[in-house]
Amino acid sequence: MKETAAPHKPGLRAWLGLSVILGPVLLVAMDGSVLFLAMPKVTEALSPTADQALWTLDIYGFVVGSLLITFGGIGDRYGRLKLLMAGVTLFGLASLGAAFASSPDLLIAFRALMGLAGATLLPSALAVLSELFADPRQRAQAIGIFAAAFAAGFAIGPAVGGQLLSHFWWGSVFLVNLPVLVLFLAVAPFLLREVATSRTGRIDVLGVVQSVTGLLLTIYAVKHLAAEGWSAGIAAVGLAGLAVLVWFARRQLTLEHPLIDFGLFRDRVFTIAIVTGLLPLAAWSATAYLSGVYLQSVLGISILRAALLAVPGALLLTVTCIVTPLLVARIGKRSALVTCHLFVATGLLLLLPVASSGGVVWYIASTVLAGVGYGISFSLVAETAVAAVPAERAGSAAAIAETSNEIGNALGIALLGSLSVLVFRVQGPDLAGTFGETLGLPGLAPAVIDQAKGAFVTGLRAVAVTAGLLHVLLGLLTLRWVPKVLDDGAQGEAAVVEGVAAGGGGAVGAR
């Protein structure tokens, strides 16, 4: 990679530059989860349908995940800092629009724009950060701080949203972005320098369209079938989406410069690493959202107290992300991966005793134990994925690793959230499509309210069991497929750093 600045030892400028970059990165991660506790308030204000509520939550993650690799390539060609500045500007404008959206459709549209901006920020921020730290070891340390900030953003998003909503209206969860973004635009030109590469190959526009279209059609069908029941037309939409995704995957295998290098998945260690990036995020996003609704709408807990209850798990997740490299040095990568799945599965299954009459202690225990597993996943996935492939393919591996995090975050709400909706539709009082819509109906008898709450809790348990069993299965596959001793040498670490710096994706999980 050819940079515009000569290598230099990091000084005050480098560390100030890192602190400036962390602001937008924290916001991009936080906005993936900030609505989890806010959705009851959004539902009260905008009255979204079941489909609209789920799209409000997960359209952001889908757009970010679908476009990360594409914008990595665009930044390589036209300048990472230029793209970063443009992305921050768009993120701010979209946040402003979302804060004052007057309908569910407008809110979904602005959330999609925020996702588009977020997809420009992550890979560009990592490349600009790499220019600040020329020494590989110091660069790896800076990337570790970057990873911790990203993990912290995901973890504290619900708590921040809850704190804001205890004092302000629901739009404040988006307006909080603006001061950080304005500060970045004011000081970034003085602290950061342009980074560009001589990357060859065209942007695969058709591939971008295929991946986004296939995902959205498939998820739309899943959501609609869960909320409304069987429909031949919707089933056809889902099959069309799957067909487009298969077309996308087959076409990528024939391209010289693919968006996603599916050939990497021939390596079982790489595959385990990527699924470990996806599944924990899916479980975390779904249970965090459903638990927020459970605490507020089932148990009647205030949004401020609900936010405070989420803090222990968020703190432990963040700390675990930071200390995971020490854990790996002591027990090895395979044992760390198995530990990740064990803690997540145990934490999820601790949600089984929750009931419509109480369960706060079980909720806290669940978030604390699962938080350890989530933290290991955030910290370990990218490094494991990159170390499993040849050094010349490190950039592609890093990009896929970060994409798996974002897609996992969105898929959790889309698929596991749809499972919860399906359970509620089957066991609920059959008066409205969702739990929130049902509680909003006037004149409900106490017995009907109790039935609705019981059905929602059953849906939460179903999600927890499903995700927990998937983690048990993934832990067993890790024991079978991942060798006891992985190459943890300097070559692997250098590949991670170089992959992050040059690769068109954002390996925020790299240490």
26-30, 213-217, 328-332, 389-393: which has the minimum mean pLDDT?
389-393
pLDDT of residue 7: 47
Instruction: From 142, 154, 191, 152, select the one nearest 20 (Cα to Cα).
Output: 191
Q: Is 292 left (phi over 0), alpha (psi -120 to 50) or beta?
A: alpha
pLDDT of residue 409: 74
**Where are the domains positioned within the chain?**
12-204+255-502, 205-254
From residue 313, how far is each of 288, 310, 328, 365, 368 by CA, in Å? 11, 6, 21, 8, 4
Give the whole-number percent of the chain exceeding pLDDT 90: 24
Which residues, in sequence order, are CB contacts of 253 under 8 Å at separation 6+? 262, 263
**Phi, psi torsion values for 125, nearest 5 degrees:** -60, -40
Neighbours of 420 (CB within 10 A): 29
Whether 176 shows a pLDDT value over 50: the answer reads yes
pLDDT of residue 108: 92
Whether 246 shows a pLDDT value over 90: the answer reads yes
pLDDT of residue 45: 86
Class for domain 12-204+255-502, per CATH? mainly alpha
Tell which wins on pLDDT, 395 or 403.
403
Whether 495 shows a pLDDT value over 50: the answer reads no
Whether 341 shows a pLDDT value over 90: the answer reads yes
- Whole-number Å distance between alpha carbons of 474 and 236: 31
Highest-scoring range by mean pLDDT, 55-69, 120-134, 183-197, 462-476: 462-476
Query: pTM for the complete prediction?
Result: 0.78
pLDDT of residue 378: 81
Tell which wins on pLDDT, 60 or 493.
60
Segment 16-43, tens digit of pLDDT: 888 888 888 888 778 777 777 778 888 8
